[in-house]
Amino acid sequence: MENIQYAEALEFNPVAESVNIEELQVWSRQPIKETLIPCCIGHTFTKHPGFPGEPVRYDIQDFLVDSSGISGGGAPMEPVIQVGLNESKKAAYFIKTDKCKNRFEVTPPKGTTYSFSSYLGRQSIHPHSGFYDAYPATIVFNGLSGTAPIITYCWFFIQNGRNDAFHFVIQGNFIGNISFDSISVYAMYPHRNFLPVISFYKPLSYAAPFGLGVTACYFLFGYSTPSPKDPGLFVRLI
């Protein structure tokens, strides 16, 4: 990722003093960034909803981000932020450790191929229905030690003709133990001139991980096993 200054998403404060419009317009031209910091890793263990006749398997999912809170960990997301999409041209999410930890460590059972997937996005508080334009996204595991990931899907979507919603959808696989400092997810999109120019946005997801059972914004690592015994976390903060 190139060296670039980012504007933090503004948290919504309904009792705050009014915002200077000129300052907000200047800010809105900056790339949109959210930094997500988990204080602990979320974990779920659930029976895989397979088809009749298939061997019974169980899903282990460890969450670096979980906006629902159901996994018991993972970084939350601010309920509402304020951003401007028309001139930002770039959106990014950063996932990193807090000040007490240095790295994420992933140690699956030996020989296990495991997946990672993520759904991160925002929707206007008062959205209009519509379809999305798609642009290639990039994911980087910063300071990676171990095998490189196999990226199978990595796209950024932003609503066509309106600034009501945007989201990232990312999937991939790893083999073997890895560790890394942080994760960067980002995408560029063309200049826009749509409404709303600046708005308040809540978390958006159309995906429901098996372990959560509800739609949520998330970043997870997971694998499946035939054993009915929960092996516990395989992702840790170190």
Lowest mean pLDDT among 19-33, 43-57, 128-142: 19-33
Structure tokens at 141: 């595991």
- Torsion angle defined by CA atoms of residues 109, 155, 34 and 42, in that order, rounded to the nearest 10 degrees: -20
Q: Judge contact between 90 and 31, C-beta under 8 A.
A: yes
pLDDT bin (cut points 50, 70, 90) of residue 238 is: very high
> Considering the chain, what is the average pLDDT of its residues?
89
Q: Read off the pTM.
A: 0.87
161: left (phi over 0), alpha (psi -120 to 50) or beta: left
Over residues 192-227, the pLDDT tens digits come to 999 998 899 999 999 999 999 999 999 999 999 999
Per-residue pLDDT, averaged over 159-172, amounts to: 97
Tell me the C-alpha to C-alpha distance, in Å, between residue 206 and each of 51, 68, 119, 162, 171. Answer: 23, 13, 8, 19, 15
Over residues 100-139, the pLDDT tens digits come to 889 999 999 998 999 999 999 999 999 999 999 999 999 9
238 vs 207: CA distance, rounded Å: 29
Highest mean pLDDT among 11-15, 18-22, 86-90: 86-90
115 vs 221: CA distance, rounded Å: 6
Picking from 234, 173, 238, 167, the residue whose alpha carbon sits closest to that of residue 207 is 167
Over residues 69-78, the pLDDT tens digits come to 999 999 999 9
